[in-house]
């Protein structure tokens, strides 16, 4: 299996990009211990050569994901560190194939059956639910990143920040790029047990209207077409929160861009940069 991955140039390139971004998450200080996870829909990169899946171990899913039947995903391993992923991505992530009935998955990158520790992220229910939503609407996003951005977690601790309006006024108001690159603003999920189907369902509702979603007192999820685009979205949102805290620490509430300045940006960059 390892050889087949190495021979697949598209897949190899994607894995190298995931490793690069995993390194950024660690360097940013957003990835303490095993914090965060990444998944990539790699279905288009696999040309059928891996179809003999029955020899690989099979695991049950908590839900059924009919739109994802037979699809392949590159998913970071549970308990694995982003800093380790950065230097050895294949040892800290897996490739899985969803079964035909979409109720289970095979880990097809596991070459030895005695590697019990290499399992997909505990946030798999949220990752798969989002990939399924993207497939349902025919979206082109392939990548999902979850990470623990300090300033975004800190922001959601404020009793004042439980409203999406308030959070988005801060995100858009702190620097022009936020309106240009995150025009749909961020979604917000109140605190719920991580790894649960409940948090997956609440997150899905927010991804109907946003490409970046905050999890109260926990972190952020983002979707994008490439690993770099997805990282950039999180980086831009995090920059806003950082500027807001910098001003507050300096003793003043930031003025923020005015409504007319925001509308001007929105009109000029409505169809992208
Ligand atoms: P995993 O190690 O299972 O991916 O969990 C990390 C995390 O951030 C949970 O929310
Ligand atoms: Zn987390």
Report d(CA 65, CA 125) in Å as an integer: 10
**Assigned domain for 130 exists:** no
**92 Cβ closer than 6 Å to some ligand 1 atom:** no
Report d(CA 178, CA 171) in Å as an integer: 6
**Assigned domain for 134 exists:** no
Name the domain boundary from 124, 140, 163.
Answer: 124
pLDDT of 270 reads 79
- 118 and 156 within one domain: no
pLDDT of 113 reads 54
**35 Cβ closer than 6 Å to some ligand 1 atom:** yes
CB of 98 closer than 8 Å to CB of 105:
yes
**Assigned domain for 103 exists:** yes
Domain of 257 in residue numbering reads as 149-273
CB of 92 closer than 8 Å to CB of 76:
yes
Residue 109 is part of a domain; what is its CATH number? Answer: 3.40.225.10
pLDDT of 227 reads 98
Residues of the chain with pLDDT under 50: none
**79 Cβ closer than 6 Å to some ligand 1 atom:** yes
**Assigned domain for 220 exists:** yes
pLDDT of 116 reads 63
Closest-lying ligand 1 atom to the alpha carbon of residue 35: 8
**Assigned domain for 143 exists:** no
**217 Cβ closer than 6 Å to some ligand 1 atom:** no
**190 Cβ closer than 6 Å to some ligand 1 atom:** no
- 117 and 168 within one domain: no
pLDDT of 33 reads 98
pLDDT of 7 reads 86
pLDDT of 110 reads 66
Specify which residues 121 forms β-bridges with.
Answer: none
CB of 86 closer than 8 Å to CB of 23:
yes
Q: How far is the CA of 215 from the centre of ligand 1 (A)?
A: 13
What is the number of alpha carbons within 13 Å of residue 182 lying toward its C-beta? Answer: 33
Record the tokens describing residue 102, joined without a space: 């979409």
Closest-lying ligand 1 atom to the alpha carbon of residue 37: 4
Please enumerate in sequence order all residues whose Cβ is within 8 A of that of 124, keeping only pairs 6 or more positions apart, or say none: 39, 61, 75
Q: How far is the CA of 177 from the centre of ligand 1 (A)?
A: 29
Q: How far is the CA of 252 from the centre of ligand 1 (A)?
A: 36
C-alpha R_g of the chain:
19
């Amino acid at each position: 299996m390892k050889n087949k991955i190495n021979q697949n140039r598209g897949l190899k390139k994607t894995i190298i990009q995931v490793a690069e971004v995993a390194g950024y998450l660690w360097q940013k200080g957003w990835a303490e211990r095993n914090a965060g996870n990444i998944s990539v829909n790699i279905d288009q990169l696999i040309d059928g050569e891996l179809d003999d899946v029955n020899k690989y171990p099979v695991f049950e899913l908590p839900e059924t994901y009919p739109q994802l039947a037979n699809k392949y995903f590159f998913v970071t391993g549970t308990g694995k560190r982003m800093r380790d992923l950065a230097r050895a991505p294949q040892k800290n992530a897996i490739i899985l194939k969803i079964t035909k009935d979409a109720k289970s998955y095979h880990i097809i990158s596991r070459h030895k059956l005695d590697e019990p520790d290499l399992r997909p992220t505990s946030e798999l229910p949220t990752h798969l639910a989002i990939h399924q939503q993207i497939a349902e609407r025919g979206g082109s996003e392939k990548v999902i990143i979850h990470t623990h951005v300090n300033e975004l977690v800190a922001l959601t601790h404020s009793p004042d920040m439980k409203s999406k309006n308030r959070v988005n006024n801060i995100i858009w108001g702190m620097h022009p790029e936020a309106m240009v690159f995150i025009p749909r603003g961020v979604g917000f999920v109140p605190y719920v047990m991580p790894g649960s189907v409940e948090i997956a369902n609440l997150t899905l509702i927010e991804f109907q209207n946003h490409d970046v979603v905050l999890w109260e007192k926990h972190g952020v999820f983002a979707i994008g077409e490439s690993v770099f685009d997805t990282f950039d979205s999180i980086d831009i949102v995090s920059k806003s929160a950082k500027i807001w805290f910098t001003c507050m620490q300096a003793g003043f509430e930031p003025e923020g861009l005015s409504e007319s300045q925001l509308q001007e940006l929105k009109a000029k960059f409505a169809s992208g940069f």
